[in-house]
Amino acid sequence: MIDIKDIFVRFEDHVVLSGVSLHVPKGSAVVILGRSGVGKSVLLKSIVGLLTPQRGSIRVMGQEVIGMKPSQLNKLRKHFGYVFQYSALFDSMTVRENLEFPLRRHAYLSEEGITARVEEQLKLVDLVDAIDKMPSELSGGMKKRVGLARAIITRPDIVLYDEPTAGLDPVTAREISKLIR
C-alpha cells in the first residue's frame, strides 16, 4: 500500500529526514515511534503530498506521490483518512458539518445516508451529544475524537493517525486504540 524509499527532507539547512525507507503491506498496522521533533509528522505529511521531499520515492498503491499533479493528488487523497496531530477541525462548522464534509466531497451517499453515517460515527467515539456543538465548545480530547471520526467516516483504504491518543486519559486512549484496530 505504501512504499517509501530513501527519502530526504530538509528545511533550509535543517535536515529532518535522511535515508528513510518504509514498506507498509496491505492489511497491516505500522507504528512510528520517535522523540519529539524527529520528523514523524513530516513523514506522514509527505505520504499524502502535503510536503514534498527533495529526494527519494513515495509510492502509494503503486503511484508515485513525489511530483504528482494536484488533480491526481486530490484523487489519491480520497483513499486516505488523516488524523492530524492538532485535530484541524473546521472552526466555523459544527461537529455534524465537520463530519459531513468529507462525505459530501466523495458524494456517494444520499442525504439520509449521510445523516445516518454521521450519527453512527459519533456513537463510535461516544460523542452523539456533541453533534450540534462548535469545535470551540469541545475539550482537546473531544476534538481529537471528532478528528478521528472524520478521518474514518468515508471508510478509506489507508488511515494515517498522527498522535491519535496524545493528551487523552488512559481509558479514552484505550478505547481509541481499540477503535483504530
Ligand X SMILES: Nc1ncnc2c1ncn2[C@@H]1O[C@H](COP(=O)(O)OP(=O)(O)OP(=O)(O)O)[C@@H](O)[C@H]1O
Rounded Cα distance, 91 and 109, in Å:
24
Q: Is 16 in the site for ligand X (CB under 6 A)?
A: yes
When the beta carbons of 40 and 79 are compared against ligand X, the nearer one is: 40
Q: Which does 34 bind (CB under 5 to 8 A by kind): Mg ion, ligand X, none?
A: ligand X
Tell the smallest beta-carbon distance from residue 38 to ligand X (Å): 4
Cell of 3: 512504499
When the beta carbons of 86 and 90 are compared against Mg ion, the nearer one is: 86
Q: Which of 85, 94, 115, 172 binds ligand X (CB under 6 A)?
A: 85
Which helix (H) or strand (E) segment holds residue 133: the answer is none
When the beta carbons of 16 and 160 are compared against ligand X, the nearer one is: 16
Angle CA 178–40–46, to nearest 5: 105
> Which residue's entry shows cell 467516516?
153
Rounded Cα distance, 99 and 90, in Å:
10
List contacts with ligand X (CB under 6 A): 11, 16, 34, 36-42, 85
